[in-house]
């Protein structure tokens, strides 16, 4: 019964989980999320041409070619039709890019999280930063605007300091998010 219940619940997942789960070559979790956010439905992704796909900043030729080839396959179309008939959600449930805030402490900024966070989970911090218009990256570069340093922060903190990037501790992050400890 637990398995059946879990399957029923998974049918309602947002599009990016389905897209990632389809196993399209070169489409990992991040690309699946970007495509889902950009197009909103599986049908629109399947109909996109190479120019439209590569017009998305984070999507390159390899991903575009893989997506096009995948959806041109007749067997794939049959699988998608079966998934539809089983009631699997094919719509993105997250916030679309145009809805993201353009003002606030994270709007338009690239943020890196490093070290151990004790107040928030890393995933909660990431989701909240993104909901406030920020982009969370896994590595520090010249394009990084802000580093959030938890306990035992290491090489990312050193690199951020070398590049002159603003560094916050977790308390400053929580305050900016409006969270209560």
Q: What is the 3-state secondary structure (H, E, C) of 12-68?
A: CCCHHHHHHHCCCCCCCHHHHHHHHHHHCEHHHHHHCCHHHHHCCCCCCHHHHHHHH
**Contact present, 110 and 134 (Cβ < 8 Å):** yes
Q: Quote the pTM value.
A: 0.56
Which CATH number does 2-85 carry?
1.10.150.20
Measure the CA–CA gap between 54 and 38, rounded to whole angstroms. Answer: 12
Question: What order of strands is seen across the sheet that includes strand 110-114?
Answer: 135-137, 110-114, 146-149, 166-169
Task: Tell whether the model's pLDDT for residue 1 goes beyond 80.
Answer: yes
Task: Tell whether the model's pLDDT for residue 181 goes beyond 50.
Answer: no
State the CATH architecture for 100-177: 3-Layer(aba) Sandwich (3.40)
Q: Residue 136: enclosing H or E segment and its boundaries?
A: strand 135-137
Q: What does the pLDDT look like over 42-71, one tens digit per residue?
A: 999 999 999 999 988 789 999 999 999 999
Beta bridge pairs of residue 132: none
Measure the CA–CA gap between 115 and 122, rounded to whole angstroms. Answer: 10
pLDDT of residue 180: 38
pLDDT classification of 96: cutoffs 50, 70, 90? low
pLDDT of residue 100: 66
Residues above pLDDT 70, as percent of the chain: 95
Measure the CA–CA gap between 41 and 47, rounded to whole angstroms. Answer: 10
pLDDT, average across residues 153-160: 94
Question: Around Cβ 151, how many Cβ atoms within 10 Å?
Answer: 10
Structural domain boundaries in the chain: 2-85, 100-177
């Amino acid at each position: 019964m637990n398995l059946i219940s879990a399957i029923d619940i998974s049918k309602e997942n947002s599009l990016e989980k389905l897209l990632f789960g389809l196993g399209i070559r070169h489409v990992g979790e991040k690309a699946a999320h970007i495509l889902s956010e950009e197009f909103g439905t599986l049908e629109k992704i399947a109909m996109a041409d190479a120019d439209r796909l590569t017009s998305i900043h984070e999507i390159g030729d390899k991903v575009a070619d893989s997506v096009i080839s995948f959806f041109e396959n007749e067997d794939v179309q049959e699988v998608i039709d079966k998934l539809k008939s089983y009631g699997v959600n094919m719509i993105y449930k997250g916030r679309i890019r145009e809805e993201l805030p353009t003002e606030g402490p994270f709007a338009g900024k690239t943020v890196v999280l490093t070290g151990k966070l004790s107040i928030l989970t890393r995933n909660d911090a990431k989701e909240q930063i993104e909901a406030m218009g920020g982009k969370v990256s896994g590595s520090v570069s010249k394009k990084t605007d802000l580093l959030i340093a938890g306990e035992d922060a290491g090489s990312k903190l050193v690199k951020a300091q070398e590049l002159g990037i603003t560094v916050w501790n977790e308390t400053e992050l929580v305050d900016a998010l409006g969270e209560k400890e």
